[in-house]
Amino acid sequence: MPTALLEFLFWSCIGAVVYHYAGYPVVLFFLAQMAQAKSDLAYLLRRRSRRQSFSPDFVPRVALLVSAYNEEEVIQAKVKNTLAIDYPADSLDVFIGLDSPTDSTPAILAQIPTGAIRIHQFDCRRGKLAVLCDLARGTSAEILVFTDANTMLDRSCVRNLVRHFVDPRVGAVSGEEVRVAGTGTDAGAESLYWRYESALKVLENRLNCSLGGNGAALAVRRSLFHPVKQSIVEDFQIPLEIRFNGHRVVYDPEAVAVEEIAPTFAAQFARRVRIGAGNYQTLFNHLEYVNPFRGLLAFSFLSHRVLRWFVPFLMLLALACSVSLVGHRSFIAITAAQCLFYAMAVLGYQLRKAHKRPLLLAGPLYFCAMNLALLLGLFRYLAGRQALAWNPTPRIGAEALLRNTRSDR
């Protein structure tokens, strides 16, 4: 292959990766500033309030839906947390769907003396979305709130999610998922990455181009909840479809849900592989979403999501090109730098295996692990080996983590 073409491919790959992680946030920031300036000017000229008006009298009927498989470690804390939610009891229905669990989850729920929660047990295991669809058919509530069994909701989370639906244009609202470390878990790199993601969501929300959600705290207008296909990552696909169908998707950082980071590196990695498979499933099922005529929505989807999913291929192609160009003096250092970065990731992994903190190696390790998981996720999706149902990641102490998070805020 001609040297010029190899150099072009190399710098194109590096440029795309840099744009995704650094350039896109900068572009978002300036677009958000322009949108704010436009809003300020409109306010000065028209003297109309720029803020979303929230009516205290707006209390729609809400159904809180939980799909649970083997959740014996957290289900009791989840019930206690749910009963403490600050929302009128006569307007809140709580449904827990048991997806044919094999542990003591049903027995634990049977011992809890409360009629405020409706338990539905399914004999055949089908996956989270199928259970949520069945639960949704059993309620006439106007708003559906989806949450996970291992997620603890802040008392005001449901109120903060629901308040946005006073605007008839809003179809879905995603809360803020705070990920915290349990005992013996190193949160470092993942916590930093999660804050980076939250910052992007805030900026996208200001530009009305929020796309996805998270299963920890996701509210959907019931009339718009019509999933056509079963999905591996339904918490991303459902709001994505709602937004591209013309309804607003809102991100509310004040609707807080707390989830414990998976306690082991292997568990974190397995979770990322599954989510990666779901991301590619969503992409290949909705290629029309990258249509440039979709404007800012397509720009956001391509820059924030699609590029993220293709970073591992860009990294591999860049490495292959630089190795092919190693005969050129400038590419000797470039190739050595890439190899050093990957070697740092491997060394960080070895330290993690030895139960030692990787410290400065945590960044390269997390970055490489995340992209390797995406790569394996694609292979798993293409091979059809990612089932809709999966085993939950073991976590403990979620209720205590919620108390600690409240005290920190």
pLDDT at residue 49, rounded to an integer: 54
**DSSP helix/strand/coil, 3:** helix
pLDDT at residue 112, rounded to an integer: 85
Q: Where would I find the beta strands (DSSP E) of 182-247?
A: 218-221
d(CA 24, CA 309): 15
Task: Supply angle C-alpha 272, 276, 278, rounded to 5.
Answer: 120
pLDDT at residue 408, rounded to an integer: 47
Quick one: DSSP state of residue 368?
H
pLDDT, tens digit (0-9, with 9 covering 90-100), for 173-199: 999 988 887 655 556 677 788 889 999
pLDDT at residue 329, rounded to an integer: 72
Q: Which residues of the chain have pLDDT under 70?
A: 47-54, 182-188, 388-409
d(CA 85, CA 90): 13
Q: Model-level pTM? A: 0.88
Averaged pLDDT of the chain: 87
d(CA 50, CA 404): 34
Distance from the first to the final alpha carbon of the chain: 56
Domains of the chain: 1-20+264-392 (no CATH), 62-260 (3.90.550.10)
Beta strand pairing call for 170-180 and 143-148: unpaired
Beta strand pairing call for 170-180 and 218-221: antiparallel
pLDDT at residue 344, rounded to an integer: 96
pLDDT, tens digit (0-9, with 9 covering 90-100), for 185-237: 556 677 788 889 999 999 999 999 998 888 889 999 999 998 877 778 888 89
pLDDT at residue 402, rounded to an integer: 52
pLDDT at residue 185, rounded to an integer: 54
pLDDT at residue 51, rounded to an integer: 55
